[in-house]
Amino acid sequence: MNITVIGTGYVGLVTGACFSEMGNIVYCVDVDENKIKSLKNGIIPIYEQHLKRIVNNNYNNRNLIFTTELKEGLQNSDICFIAVGTPMAEDGCADLSVVFQVAKNIGQIMTNDLIVVTKSTVPVGTGHKIRKIIQKELDKRNVNYNFEMVSNPEFLKEGTAVEDSMRPDRVIIGSEDEKTINTIKELYAPYVKNHDRFIVMDIRSAEMSKYASNAMLATRISFMNEVANICEKVGADINKVRLGVGSDNRIGYSFLYAGCGYGGSCFPKDVSALIKTGEIAGYSPKILNEVENVNNEQKMVLVNKIKEKFGEDLSNLSFGLWGLSFKPGTDDMREAPSIVIINELIESGATIKAYDPKAREPAEAIFVNNQNIEFCDNKYDALDDSDGLIIVTEWNEFRSPDFNEISNRLNNKLIFDGRNQFDKEVLNKIGFEYYQIGA
């Protein structure tokens, strides 16, 4: 099939690349000229495992075309995916301005029948608004192309985005048109070969399914963080409690890790947007508001432990910090808890030496001109002259570090671990003062 994907970010680029990998011709359209230029030169603007190989192979095979011209994509396509950003607006709602702009452009430019698929995460009712916008533009042009709207929310996870796209848990198709549903099924068939993973529903329910999924995952995290905070007060160990809870197969082990809060480009904005959707519709969400509140407080838990140890004033103290991205496997710094933690420590007088395997560049852009943070090329270099190690993101390379090297480099054998990577007893035995979350 011939496909246009509008928006070449974390979702659009991975989606486009994975569609092209199965032999489709895919036009990846973006307004960011530098991004398109880089991609044409084989430079992938984000880090995601396996992505570079797939993008470069398919670009060279001419299955994958990068362009800033929406017209070039649309006039050659039967299906068009909208994968632009829907960030949090100031009032907490999803900012749909780019989605609506793209809808208008589609209506102004399309020259043939088209299936328009929303992959961006959008509040309930957006698909119907997009349909109206496109139709209005077609009416203005006095042309009558057939177009069908589909909601096909994306469930890929940054860090495993290519694998998730190649083997999705489910493909939700929000549409009421039988022919359109079959076309989308045909497109996804190679990715769900071993058993049927299609779930077909109306557009509104499909839109809500995405928000409900992210809100459920965020709720599990905040719930476990809350239990972890109680554990600390009463002398229980959240690491053991997690095993006791997760072994119930009605609950399962996924997303039960206590830590220093969730971040990223999705959970914070999607929980907020769902709260707003409820409020606008006349329902005031209770659980979701507390999920947000617990998470905001959780980002401060490590900072509070550091202050309990050293006092409120952290002047003349320096900390090595491992992990900047909001989760391992990605360079994405959007809403990363590390930003809150670093700002708070610097505000209290400390200096930071930070290391991240992939997120150095975007992190440097965030802390540009800040003299109190230095970025290191190597995890151990971040420990030189530091008064303690802080772990914020659980990259694999932090899981079995050389503790001799750590103690040789640090001023104090002191670790504040926001991701509970190590066994407290083992670390205490080798002389480390070790603080974790909920134990």
Contacts with ligand NAD, residue ranges (CB under 6 A): 6-12, 29-32, 35, 83-86, 98, 101-102, 120-121, 154, 156, 158, 265-266
User: How big is the CA angle at 381 (ends 432 and 43), to the nearest 5 degrees?
Assistant: 130
**Residue 257 marked ligand-binding:** yes
Nearer to ligand NAD, 85 or 328 (CB): 85
Nearer to ligand NAD, 330 or 386 (CB): 330
**Residue 389 marked ligand-binding:** no
Q: Which residue out of 93, 231, 260, 266 is catalytically annotated?
A: 266
Nearer to ligand NAD, 7 or 323 (CB): 7
Edge-to-edge strand list for the sheet holding 2-6? 64-67, 25-29, 2-6, 79-82, 114-118, 147-151, 171-174, 198-201
Nearer to ligand NAD, 205 or 412 (CB): 205
The H or E element that residue 36 is part of is helix 33-40
194 Cα distance to chain centroid: 27
**Residue 158 marked ligand-binding:** yes
**Residue 121 marked ligand-binding:** yes
**Residue 327 marked ligand-binding:** yes
Q: How far is the CB of 310 from ligand NAD (least distance, A)?
A: 36
> CB–CB of 344/406 below 8 Å?
no
**Residue 64 marked ligand-binding:** no
Tokens 């809060």 belong to which residue?
261
Question: What angle, rounded to 10 degrees, do the helices at 267-280 and 203-234 form?
Answer: 120
Helix/strand/coil for 409: helix
- Rounded Cα distance between 24 and 19, Å, is 6
Nearer to ligand NAD, 215 or 231 (CB): 215
Residue 266 is a catalytic residue: yes
How many CA within 13 A on the CB side of residue 55?
27
Q: How far is the CB of 266 from ligand NAD (least distance, A)?
A: 5
Spell out the residues 6+ positions from residue 425 whose beta carbon is closer than 8 angstroms to its own.
none
Shortest Cβ contact with ligand NAD: which residue? Answer: 9
Structure tokens at 82: 């909208």
Spell out the residues 6+ positions from residue 243 whose beta carbon is closer than 8 angstroms to its own.
253
Q: How far is the CB of 247 from ligand NAD (least distance, A)?
A: 29
Q: How many residues in total does the chain contain?
A: 439
Distance, first Cα to last Cα, the chain = 53
Q: How far is the CB of 132 from ligand NAD (least distance, A)?
A: 18
**Residue 310 marked ligand-binding:** no
Nearer to ligand NAD, 51 or 406 (CB): 51
How many CA within 13 A on the CB side of residue 40?
13
**Residue 255 marked ligand-binding:** yes
Edge-to-edge strand list for the sheet holding 389-391? 373-375, 351-355, 318-322, 389-391, 414-417, 433-435
Q: How far is the CB of 27 from ligand NAD (least distance, A)?
A: 11
Q: How far is the CB of 53 from ligand NAD (least distance, A)?
A: 20
Helix/strand/coil for 365: helix
Query: Binding site residues for substrate, as ranges?
Result: 155-158, 210, 255-259, 263, 327
Query: Binding site residues, as ranges?
Result: 30, 35, 86, 121, 155-158, 210, 255-259, 263, 269, 327, 334
What residues are annotated to the active site?
266
Query: Binding site residues for NAD(+), as ranges?
Result: 30, 35, 86, 121, 158, 269, 334
